[in-house]
Every structure is written in structure tokens, then in C-alpha cells.
Amino acid sequence: MIKFFKSIALFLLLFIVQRGFAQNITITGTVKSADGETLPGVSILIKETKKTTISDAKGAFSINTPEKGTLVFSYIGFKSQEIPINKNAGPVSVILQSSDNALDEVVVTALGISRQKKSLGYAVQELKGQDLSEAKESNLVNAMAGKIAGVRVTNSQGSMGSSRVVIRGETSIAGNNQPLFVVDGIPVDNSQLNAAGARDYANAISDINAEDIESISVLKGPNAAALYGSRAAAGVILIKTKTGKSKKGLGIEVNSNAVLETLLTLPVYQNAFGQGSEGKFSYVDGAGKGLNDGVDESWGPKMDGRLIPQFFSKGTAVPFVAHPDNVRDFFQTGYALNNGISVADAGEKYDYRISYNNLKQVGIVPNSGQGKNSFVLNTSLKITPKLTLTANANYSKLSADNLPGTGGSRSTSTMLQFTWFGRQVDINQLKNYLDENGKTFTGTIVITAIHIG
């Protein structure tokens, strides 16, 4: 009897296993694009079991599936497609349609030649003009900061000075590590002018208005820049300006942009001791004796409210207290206003674009600012089917009567002056530097001239 039940159990087990195997089938087929090209590496997924396979070099595939279910075909640059499993359908032929979001980006490479990005043998990254003009910088180089992998942008005095760009780190100890800039096929020098002097003037590349740029391509490494020679050893930044080719008639564009600028951070200053030495302090005005004995470091008395004559009190003892925000109060809110207009047109054999832009900028350092007027002309004329005449012109006039100072001298460096600035001084009391006749004070009370009494 026991043997009988064992036989029945074994029979049922074999039946279930056989039944389970019977429910799996093999689906074969090929995957092609809409133009008939076979697609290798297509991912084929069984939606219900998550089992996957890929098509081979000829686009063929084979996969074991249940009798019922759905196959999902996916491939980069093509729309995913789902097909129900049919055990009686025979080999499957799948046609994938190109996706609107296909990774088939075209970039501008050396000598203005356009190539598909995925076909290049070197690293290249592109920025569109709108990436630069939405939050417009007065210096074009600053607009690339944080937008391109491997590119580091530094500047010496904010938005009105020169900026330095390095691709993939420094490559030379003594040489120039900046990339070569090429604007519409013309190399442009981006050297920093007098960066180590009393005033730091903007680079030549800053003369280009962001509204006139169609795209920027960054070619990384010497292989990418081989056609430009040794000057491009640190890479190349290709700038392509806008033309009228995209217009199908006369077009006028007006742009206006406003940017506010505030101080981001400051050093941490102590607010316990004021100016002086050995815990003592006594001011001396500009005409007083002992001016050469002045001490401007903060080794003076504690700023605990004790009564001491100070430069603004006309000899009267007043509380000696800290002004924690005296450095921050020196700076102001800066702004930049950009206004421009462009006219473009194109015909069967010609196109042109003319633009004008005006910049007015006021810095965060009082009495500093700059103004700039830019004119750009791009034209082309098709003389014969094989001969086209093009002309590009860029004219820029910059006026900056008082750029912020740089360098290691207190007479030129704003922040270096505050290294010795008295913590007890209220900066707002120093802003009125004109007398009742509108003239600057002579024999000015100099807060850094301290006499130890």
C-alpha cells in the first residue's frame, strides 16, 4: 500500500515538472531600425519575470519566456517598444523608431567643422547661448564657472576684473596654462592685463557680449586642439557667434537684463580689543604731533564702553565700543544693467545680423563701476555655389574710471586696508569726507595714526 502511494506521488511530481517545462517557450527574432539597419546591443526584457537578454552583432536575439507575457525592447536613442508573447507567431521582427530625445548632439569642433558628439575621439562639451545670457555676467569667462566639467574659473576682484580659466588643471610650471580662445575661427588672446599691478583690467574676451553667442564648445586636451598648434596645448574654447541664417525674414530682438551683486563672505574679526598698543589708545589728527608714532593694530584697550576721546568726538571722552559690521558696512549693493537690440535677416544668397549692447555696472566697492558699448556685425554673401564671402566685426568701447584696487599695498587693496582697520571705528562716520564747500578735507583725521599716551 505504501509503495502504491509512493508511485502516485512520484507520478504527480513528474507531471508537475513536465507541465512546468511545457509552459516555457523560446522566442527568437531580430531588431532593426526604421531604415533597415540591424541594432546590436538592444535590451530585451520579459516584463513579468524581469529576465533580460541583448541582441547580438547582427541584431538577432533568443530568450526563454512563459507562454503569456510581454517583451520590452529598449535602446539608447530609440523609443521603447512592447510586444505581447505569441508562441505560434514564429520569429519576431521588431522595428524601433528613433526618439526625439536621441543622443545625437552636433557640436562645433576645430576650424568650425560640425561633427556628431558621439563620433569624436576626444572630450568636448558645449554650452548654448541661453546658458550664458539668462544670468548675464559682465565678463564672459565668469559665465562658464560651474557649467563645464573640468574647467576652473578664478578672478582677482569679482566681476569687473580679469578672469583666468584652466581646463583639467595646471599643465606647466612656467608657461601659460590658459586655453586658446577661438572666436568664429579667429584666435583671441585672453591674457590678464596688469593682474599683479594696482589695477586689474578685464581680459579681451570679456568684450564679447553673451547675447551675441550662439554656442561655446570646449575642447579638452592636446588631441582635441591638434589643428591649432602649440598655443592650444591647454585646450581650446571655441565661440560661435549668432548669424542671420536662422531667420526667414527681417527679425528684431530686444533684450534687457538686470543683475544685483552683494558681498558673499568676510574674514572673521575679533571684537574684544580696539586700536592701540599695550592696552593704550590716543588719537592724533592729521596735523598733530606724534603722527609717525602711530599704531593701527588692535592691541589697544578692551572695547567695554570705557570713556576715551576719539577722532570724531572733538576731544570729548566717548564710549570705546566695537562696531562688528564696520567692514561689511563699507560695501554696497552693486548692479549691472544690460540692454541690447539686434536686427537679422536672410535671403537665398545672403544673411546678416547687426547688434548693439550697452552695459552699465556699479560695483560693491563705493565709487567703482564701468560702462561698455558693443557693436557686432556678421554677414555672408553667396557669390557662386562654391564661393561664399563672410565678414565678422566686433567693436567694443569700455570706460572704467575707478576700478577696485588689487595687489599687496594698502594704498590699492581694499581688503588689505581693513586688516589694520580699528574695530572701534564706525565706517559710516568716515563716509562724509567733504567739507561744507564740497571739498575734501585737508589734514584729514587719519584713523590709522595712533599716539600712545
Give CATH for domain 2-96: 2.60.40.10
Domain with CATH 2.170.130.10 in the chain: 106-241
The per-residue pLDDT for range 396-415, each reduced to its tens digit, is: 888 887 777 666 566 667 78
The per-residue pLDDT for range 217-249, each reduced to its tens digit, is: 888 766 666 677 777 778 888 888 888 887 777
| β-pair type (307-309, 213-219) | unpaired
- Tell me the CATH class for 106-241: mainly beta
The per-residue pLDDT for range 24-73, each reduced to its tens digit, is: 788 899 999 887 888 888 888 888 888 888 888 888 998 888 888 889 99
Distance from C-alpha of 42 to C-alpha of 57, rounded to nearest angstrom: 10
Of 62-71, 114-123, 165-174, 231-240, least confident by mean pLDDT is: 114-123
Pair 451, 282: CB distance under 8 Å:
yes
Return the CA Rg of the chain.
Answer: 36
Domain with CATH 3.90.1150.210 in the chain: 251-263+332-399
pLDDT, position 25? 83
pLDDT, position 100? 60
Answer yes or no: is pLDDT of 5 > 50: no
Map residue 440 onto helix, strand or coil: strand
Pair 163, 206: CB distance under 8 Å:
yes
pLDDT, position 223? 64
Q: Which fold has domain 251-263+332-399?
A: Aspartate Aminotransferase, domain 1 (3.90.1150)
How far apart, in Å, do the first and last CA atoms of the chain sit?
Answer: 122
Distance from C-alpha of 165 to C-alpha of 234, rounded to nearest angstrom: 10
CA angle 119-125-129, nearest 5°?
A: 120
Pair 181, 88: CB distance under 8 Å:
no
Pair 92, 60: CB distance under 8 Å:
no
pLDDT, position 451? 32
pLDDT, position 183? 87
Pair 140, 131: CB distance under 8 Å:
no
**Taking residues 83-98, what's their average pLDDT?**
84
> How many helices and strands, by DSSP H and E, does the chain display?
3, 23
Higher pLDDT, 225 or 318: 318
Answer yes or no: is pLDDT of 292 > 50: no
**Taking residues 121-145, what's their average pLDDT?**
72
